[in-house]
Every structure is written in structure tokens, then in C-alpha cells.
Structure 1
Amino acid sequence: MPQAKRKTPFSGKAKKQQLQTKKNKQNRTLLLSTSSGSSSYDVVSVNYQPSKGRGGRGDANRYALKFYRETDEDMKVKKEEALQSLNPVPEKDMEVDPSDYFPADLTFPKRPPWDFSMKPAQLDAQEQRYFKNYVDGLQSSEHWRHVSYFELNLETWRQLWRVLEMCDVLLLIVDVRYAGMMFPPSLYQYVVKEQKKNMILVLNKIDLVPAGVVAAWQDYFTSSFPGLHVVYFTSCPGYNLRGSTKDKAGLQVRRRKGRQQMCAEGATKIFEACKDIVGNEVDLTSWERKIKEESEVELGEDEQTEVGETILEKADTTYYKHEKYKNGILTIGCVGQPNVGKSSLMNAIMGKKVVSVSKTPGHTKHFQTIFLTQQVRLCDCPGLVFPSKVPRPIQILMGSYPIAQLREPYTTIRYLAERLDLPKLLRIDHPENDDSWSPRDICDGWAKKRGYLTAKAARLDTYRAANSLLRMALDGKICLWLRPPGYTEQQETYATCKEIKYIKWVQALTEDNESSPITSESDDERRTESCDSADCDDSSDSDQEETIAMANKFNMLASED
């Protein structure tokens, strides 16, 4: 018998290189390489997860976020710019016109025509071909040089198509801080004008910005897009927070209570918008009753997550013929960009944890349906990044791209520092005792204050500091918000308009929450340090009770002695 081939020596370094090569092949593939033609642009899966094998629940990377990878030349130029001084931007220039970032001819992929006689393989091939032609056409357009990150995973777009087909009302959730950058007019045009369906725009996280800014965005959207319903929401109303909401330097401090109540005010606004749309065609009394009942129930942090029906088995090439209010059920589709707070909103509407929440973009990976009541059904769609000309620094601050996988953070730090006085907010000293600041100086100053040092040389860990600052901006601790056109001239008008009372009602903030800053230097320093934790929370009430109980036990033992 022939002898087996003798194994050659294989070092650990060679094995590591082999695994890295295999990972690169999985992470970085050419777009639709199996289709005809080729693309010269490199695509990277930015939230790739290790495969779970045959025993896992489907492909973990099926809905992985896919974006074009920046070139090494671009990275080199941006790193050199990080050493240049900041140029502060006046408040007027913080007004943004959404039409500048969403041109009329820059639309999103729509499902190609189909019929019931088509087989799944034919439909899959048709959609693959359509999506490749769509991306190729976008690359050859005049907008291509300015197009920012957008979703390149066809499977994720298929989930949007399914939601748009099934829903009676589309719920588009945006972060009010960047509302104009998250609202694609092409989606409004397709849903309202072409499909003749209703659309509700939810301005989320309104607790992070002044009420006048929320009112200004509401006025802009209602006047620019007829028939669009605009409502307000926050998953952190005042009764779910404790203490003040700002420190003396201006950093946002939101300390959640150990047990949360249902966000009844925001849920009520969404209910009223849906009731105004459906009229008497669907009975929504059970939903109204649920809001009243759940508003008095507290939700603990350790509650189990109840996951709805998920689609995991195979490529989703199914199609759905819409019937309005089928079987007396209102179907609400939930769409939004990654990290916009969509999962938190759905949990808040339900009054319990039905969708797991994460700060990592792309955490919600599967289409799922959740019955709010017997007459109301929610369809959750994975987070989608629509094609646009939104600058990449804003996309990073919005949370569309994972901060942990950002190759060059200084451009985003510059955008943030030129619009906010970061040295004053962070109370940092210049690392070189200079008067002019650069993005690199701010990161070094923050690293010096927090004690971020590299492991080997013990130098200031600039990348870790930049990562920390960007996460603080994403969480709202460093709060930047953009204004709609004309806000500066009408600022006083918006601050006293009639919408303010509804906005503050949803915020549920008292005067103490809004105006009483943290004045103790040591206490403020401690809370600033806690901003690197997941929720920026102090110890819970239960921990304090446990500590008191332990102290009582020791006192009892001492008295017995």
C-alpha cells in the first residue's frame, strides 16, 4: 500500500497567516462575482461573524453589512490631515438641506417585476441581475464620486422589499439629531405616491436635543412632504431617568433607573397617527387598552427577550400580494438605518423586551413579525443604509458604520470638534501646551486624561481615545445635532410654538432634569469616567439595597457578640 505523505513542519506563524488569508477571502469579496462582468471596487463585510457550522441557526453573515472599502491612499491623506488645525464652523453652517444629499435621480433598489408563474430560481437570478445592473449604473453616474456608504447586500434589500409589500403603514424611524440625513425622499415617493400607502416618520431620541429643534424638523417635513405623518418618540423619558441630564461642562448624562416603564407618551402618539389613518376599518381599541395597562408596569433589566417569527432557512425570494387590512389586521412595517433606535422603539411600544438591542450596527439581522395585539402586527426590517451623498463623518456619527472597525477616525473627530468645543466639554489640556488644536491633539488630550496608554511603549493610545469619543457622540453624551434650513432665523419662533408642549410631554422631562447641572467636581469626574460603560449608568437601586442589607447583618453580628 502506498504510504501516506509525510507531514511537513508547519509553524504557528504560518498557521496564523493561513487563517488570516481565509478570513480575508470571506470578509472581502467582489460584488456579485458570480454574475457576468466584474467590479474593480473592493467590498468588505464590516460586521462579519464566525460561522456556527451546520448546527447553527442559519448563516450568521447572511445580512452582514457590506460597504466599499476605502483605498490605502485615501487613508494616508486623511491621517496627514489629522495633524492640521481645526477651523470652527459657525452655527448657521450647521443647517442642512436634505435635498442636497438625496438627489432626485439617486434612488434605492426596488424589487423588479415578477409574477406567480416564476420559479424561485428564476426570481433569484432576476433579482441578482437587477441589483448588479443597479450598482453598475450607480458607478457610472455623475454622483458616484460623492456617494457615501450604502448597503451592498442584496439579502438585506430583499427584506425591505418584503416589508414594503406586506405593510399597510410604513413606520420610518430616524434619529432627530440627523433627521435630514436619514430620510430618503425616494422612499417617500415610492410608498406614498406609487404604492398609495401611508407613511409615518418617527423622530426618535428627542430627549437629546432642544424641543425647538424637534419642532423645526417637524415643520420642515410636514411642509415638504404632503401626507407624511410626523410623531415624536424617546425610549428615555424623564420618569425612566434619575438625576440631572447634564454635567456643568455640557456633557449629556443619562442615568437609567433599574426598572423601566413603558414609554406611554411616545406609544400614544404613534397609536393616534395609526388611528387617524385607518379610521374605523380596523379596531384598535385593544392597542389603546394595552398602552394604558402597560404604562403602569415596570420592566426589569433582566427580562427575557421574546423573539418573534423569523425567516432563517434559505434565500428569501418569496413574494407577497398585498391586501389592505387583511383579516382585520393592521400591518405596520418598521424601517430605519442601523443604530437609529428601531429595536428600542419596538420594545417600548410592546411594553416588554421583544427585540434584542445592541449598539453594533446590523445587530438586527432577520426579518421578523411581532403581534402587538390580535389586530396589530409589526414587521421589523434589518437596518438599511440608503444610497446618498451624506458625508462619511456624519454616517459614522449616526452609527451606520461600526466604530470599532473604522480605519481612520480623525476625519470624524475633526467634523465633531469644528462644530462643538470639545476641549471645553471634555475639560482637557493641550498635550503640547499649545493654543491651536488638531484632531490628533484632542485625542491625545483625552487619552492623557483617561490614562489610555499603549501596551508596549506606554505611549498615548490615540486610537482608543478616538474610539471612546466617537462612542460618546453616538450615545449622545457628546451631543451634536444638525438644524433644518432657516432654523437660525426662526429659532425663537420654534422655541415658543404650540408643538413644544407635545414634545415636552413625550420627553417627560421636569425642570430639574433640564436645568440642574452636576456641580461637584469629583462627582462629575466619576460620571464622565462612567461614560465608557454600555449605558452610562451608576449602580442600580437593588445593589444599594443589597449593600444596606449586608451592613445590617454585620451590625446584628456585632450586637450579638
Structure 2
Amino acid sequence: MPQARRKTPFSGKAKKQQLQAKKQNKTLLLSTPGGTTSYDVVSVNYQPGRSRGRGEGNRYALKFYRETDEELKMKKEEALKSLNPVSERDMEVDPSDFFPEEISFPKRPPWNFDMTPAQLDAQEQRYFKEYVDRLQASPHWKDMSYFELNLETWRQLWRVLEMCDILLLIVDVRFAGMMFPPSLYDYVVNQQGKSMILVLNKIDLVPASVVAGWQQYLSARCPGLKVVYFTSCPGYNLAGGTSDKAGLQVRRRKGRQRMCAEGATKILEACKDLVAGAVDLGSWETKIREETNVEFDDDEQAEVGETILEKPDTSFYTHERYKNGVLTIGCVGQPNVGKSSLMNAVMGRKVVSVSRTPGHTKHFQTIYLTPQVRLCDCPGLVFPSKVPRSIQILMGSYPIAQLREPYTTIRYLAERLDLPKLLRIDHPENDDTWSPRDICDGWAKKRGYITAKAARLDTYRAANSILRMALDGKICLWLRPPKFTEEREKYETCPEIKYIKWVQALTSDAGESGDIGSQSGSNSEDEEQSDGDSGDSEDNTAVCNKFAALLQEE
């Protein structure tokens, strides 16, 4: 019987060298005019047990630059300074301020069929290194925030852009202007000649006038862009009230979910206009009619579709519009915007697993909605931009659990919302002036967050709790489009309001609209919205009957 191979001795010196090699693999070297500088890159969803092969889960780990210890110390000192509340007009954001023309996303370099996979891999590695070098040498580098540094993840986007006939870009309506990169629109629409649909997701968290404002602003800025509305939490999928007395959002999902038929119908109508009869979408319309009242369990196991997972993703794909009579829709968006939830809601059952952790979807997968409609879900991507890091954390682009300093984000939130009133907390030192640290200490005192050894207030745990409430929508901060304050009345009375409330499933009972559409930071907006619902009862009923007519055709 053959004996097993003897174990080779492994010294402490060899172990040290192995650890140093691993550390160097996580560090990106960038060239500068004065020489070569090393920047620390952290993998925020790195799994130590899955690092044996290139095809394992860490191949798609999210990678970002990490702040230095000096920056960390300065931010902690700023947390002790008092808050400076901003006006409502200062909550208006212009997307052009965050996406300069010089900043674009990496695109797949040219290739031909004579190149081998190894040559393609080397070319793309070299291209991505040069791309990051150009960004680092640009004058916007100091103001740039976290963005994806993993080439494998960008390769997933390249494949989706090559395969799709229509690109579905999903954004969180609370931060719509900061999640819509104009360079992606220019590349898809103007350079590739494809169609693009912008989905304003989570519209149940903001007033309908804000949704209408972003729709009109983005439509005017990008000609040919279709803008539709969606929420995976319409009124019939929620139980009980949606806000407490202090104004915190409370969304209680029912155990059995129904297909979000209103939002799916809006996406279907946009695709019909773009396809113009080239593909038969009747089966999709029939599916919506059949599954309108069918309930599914939100906790059931996902039915995963065709998973595309290869070693280096350098395979060739030549696009052919509506190949074999099938419409291919690519779903792209930043982490935590609700791409997976949208696909589950459109399908009428759970086909993609959902998680609050950014980077949960590791690789793109194709799912057939009907025999004629195919969906491609791309992993969440953080595009290069000048979006402040505090907003990126509130958007969910960066995992809260990986934060080394949460007080800057707490300050941004507290200067735009009355957090002491929303959280119903008392000042820990009985003072009238609040700082980000005071808010965290007050919340820790109320919730009983105490450190294990010293029995002090656990400020970090309290800060993480507040940020998770903001991410989930319990503390609802939403940013306005430019000139929203001046033109608020125009948006509140525009015709789009009734369609938005129809997608929210608020038109069947006008009395519920004041609760579900409420926003924690503006009580006057809630009262005006509630009054507007009762005055538009006839129009709202007509919109609701528009979808009911589909059920009568059967």
C-alpha cells in the first residue's frame, strides 16, 4: 500500500513571507509624477476561507481605497463640534457637480478573434491599470470617493452591456442624481445605439412630488431616456401603518407577497415603446395578468437562473439585436438600489437572493422572464464620481460594518433631519447644542448599548444602528432636484402624480396616502400630499381601473 507524502517543513520565516505576499496582493501601486506611491486597498466583503482559487468567491470582492490614520483622527475630532443645520434649498443637488465630463467608467478595450484568452486578460489588466493611473493624475482625484477597483466586477458590466438590447438602470429615488452616471448613458445610447430605461426605485419612501421632479429633470437632461417608477413595497404588500408618531418610517411587509404589477406594467409599457413590435411581448403581458393576485413567500428559497461563471471572463460576444426573437434586458445599478428585489417583484416569485450587504450578487446571471424576454442581473457597481463618502454610505454603496469612522455620515444626516426629535432622545449632558457624538451617545443611552469591559456608552454601535435605520428607510433622507423648492407647486400638480401613486398602490384608498407617502423630514409636505389625494379621487380611480382592465380581458 503506497504511503502518503511526508509533510514539508514550514518555518516561521516562510509563514511571514506568505503573509507579506498576501498583503501586497491587496495593495494597488499607482505611479505619480514624483515616483511610485502605495495606496491601501481594502476588500470590504473579503472571505478568508474562499481564497484558494481565482474562480472562488473573493474574485468578485468589492475593493476600495481606505482612508489614512491622519484622516481618521481629524474626522473623530470633528465629531465633537456642534451641528450646523442646512436649509431645504441646500438639499437640492445638481448631478453635474458629481459627474464631471473628465470622469468616466472603464470600458472594454478593443479585441479581435485572433487574440487568445491569455492575451485578452493581459490587455484588460494593463488597460485597467492605466485607467486608474489617469484618474489618479487628474485634478479631481482628491475629491473622488469610493469606486470599484476590481477588474473582474467591471468585466461583468462589459458582458451585460454587450448582451443586452435594452439597459435597465435602477437608482434609489432618494439619491437619484448621485446614482445616474451620464457617461453610462452616453456610452449606451450614443455610442452603442441601444435603448436605456431609468427605473426610479423605492418611490414609497418619498413624496410623489419629488419623484415627479426627478423624472422631469432627468428626462429633459437626457433625450430619449425612458423614466419609469417602481417599488417592491406597494400598499397591498404592507401591513399596518407606515410611520410612527415621531415620523420614523415603519414598513412591515406581509408574510405573503404579491407581484408588484403596477411597476411591472410601467416597465412593460416602456419596453413596448422601444421594441416597436420587433419582439412579441404578449407573453409578458399575460404573465402579469395571471400573477397579479398570486402570492409568494418572501422567505422561500430563490430559484437561481442560468449562472455565467468562468475563469477569466474574457469570452467573445458579438451582439445581435433581438437574437432568435428574444428581448434581452440588462439590469445595472449600484449596490443596495434594489436590483434583485426588482427582479423578484417583476417575476412574481423569488428568483434572486436578496441581501442588505453590498456586493451580495457576485456575478451576473440570466433569467428568462418569459420565452421571449430575458433578464441579465449585473453585480452592483460603484461608478467613479465625486459623490461625498457620507452619501455613499447612506446610499448603501459602502458596507456600514466596515466603517472606521461613522460620525461624518451622522453629521450629514443630522444637519438635514431633526434626529433628536425623530429618535426621541435626550441630550446626554443636558445641553442645548448637539454634536454627532452627542446624538450617538443619546441613542446608545436609550437603547442600552454598553461596552462589555468598561461599561461605557457604546457610541460605535449606536452610530451603526442609526445608519442602518437610514439605509432601511426608517430614517428617510431624500435629496431634491435642482430648483425643486421654487417649482414645488408645479411638481405637486403635474399629471405624473397620479401615475406615481398608482405604482405605489395608493389610489384605491385615498385615506392611506398621507401615511404611506409621508416623509420624516417634512411634515408640511405630508399634509399637502394628503390633501392632494382627496382632491384627485376621480383621476386616481381611472388610473387604478387602467390595470384592472387587463384582468377583464381574460
Residues 170 and 244 of structure 1: CA distance in aligned 2, closer, same or farther (over 3 Å):
same
In the other structure, the counterpart of 1:500 is: 497
CA distance in 1 between counterparts of 2:515 and 2:21 reads 51
Contact 2:27–2:38 (8 Å) recurs in 1: no
CA displacement at 1:319 relative to structure 2: 2.1
Q: Deviations over 1:112-159 (max 9, x none)?
A: 111111111111111111100000011001110111100000000001
Residues 488 and 53 of structure 1: CA distance in aligned 2, closer, same or farther (over 3 Å):
closer
In the other structure, the counterpart of 1:515 is: 514
Pairing 1:94-243 to 2, within 5 Å after superposition: 94-243=91-240
In the other structure, the counterpart of 1:533 is: none
RMSD between superposed Cα atoms in Å: 2.4
CA distance in 2 between counterparts of 1:276 and 1:265 reads 17
Contact 2:205–2:476 (8 Å) recurs in 1: yes
Contact 2:47–2:58 (8 Å) recurs in 1: yes
Find out whether 1:388 has 2:390 as its counterpart. no
CA displacement at 1:19 relative to structure 2: 13
Residues 324 and 252 of structure 1: CA distance in aligned 2, closer, same or farther (over 3 Å):
same
Pairing 1:310-325 to 2, within 5 Å after superposition: 310-325=307-322
Question: Which structure 2 residue ranges, 5 or more long, are not aligned?
Answer: 1-6, 517-554
CA displacement at 1:57 relative to structure 2: 11
CA distance in 2 between counterparts of 1:496 and 1:253 reads 27
Residues 19 and 286 of structure 1: CA distance in aligned 2, closer, same or farther (over 3 Å):
farther
CA distance in 2 between counterparts of 1:246 and 1:514 reads 12
SS at match of 1:383: coil
SS at match of 1:106: coil
SS at match of 2:128: helix
Which amino acid counterpart does residue 267 of structure 2 have in structure 1?
A: I
* Correspondence for 1:68 among 65, 69, 93: 65
CA displacement at 1:269 relative to structure 2: 0.3
SS at match of 1:460: coil
Which amino acid counterpart does residue 70 of structure 1 have in structure 2?
A: E
In the other structure, the counterpart of 2:457 is: 460
Find out whether 1:29 has 2:18 as its counterpart. no
SS at match of 1:257: coil
Question: Which structure 1 residue ranges, 5 or more long, are not aligned?
Answer: 518-561
Find out whether 1:346 has 2:346 as its counterpart. no
Contact 2:162–2:317 (8 Å) recurs in 1: yes
Contact 1:31–1:43 (8 Å) recurs in 2: no
Contact 1:244–1:514 (8 Å) recurs in 2: no
In the other structure, the counterpart of 1:335 is: 332
Q: Deviations over 1:56-106 (max 9, x none)?
A: 994111111101111000000000000000000000000000000000111
TM-score by length of 1: 0.86
* Correspondence for 1:48 among 40, 46, 49: 46
Q: Deviations over 1:433-473 (max 9, x none)?
A: 00000000000000000000001111000000000000000
> Percent identity over the alignment?
79
Larger CA deviation: 297-306 vs 24-33: 24-33
CA distance in 2 between counterparts of 1:243 and 1:57 reads 48
Which amino acid counterpart does residue 41 of structure 2 have in structure 1?
A: V
SS at match of 2:60: coil
Contact 2:201–2:231 (8 Å) recurs in 1: yes
Which amino acid counterpart does residue 427 of structure 2 have in structure 1?
A: H
CA distance in 2 between counterparts of 1:42 and 1:6 reads 32
CA displacement at 1:42 relative to structure 2: 1.4
SS at match of 2:49: coil
In the other structure, the counterpart of 1:363 is: 360
CA distance in 2 between counterparts of 1:130 and 1:84 reads 44
Which amino acid counterpart does residue 113 of structure 1 have in structure 2?
A: P
In the other structure, the counterpart of 2:551 is: none
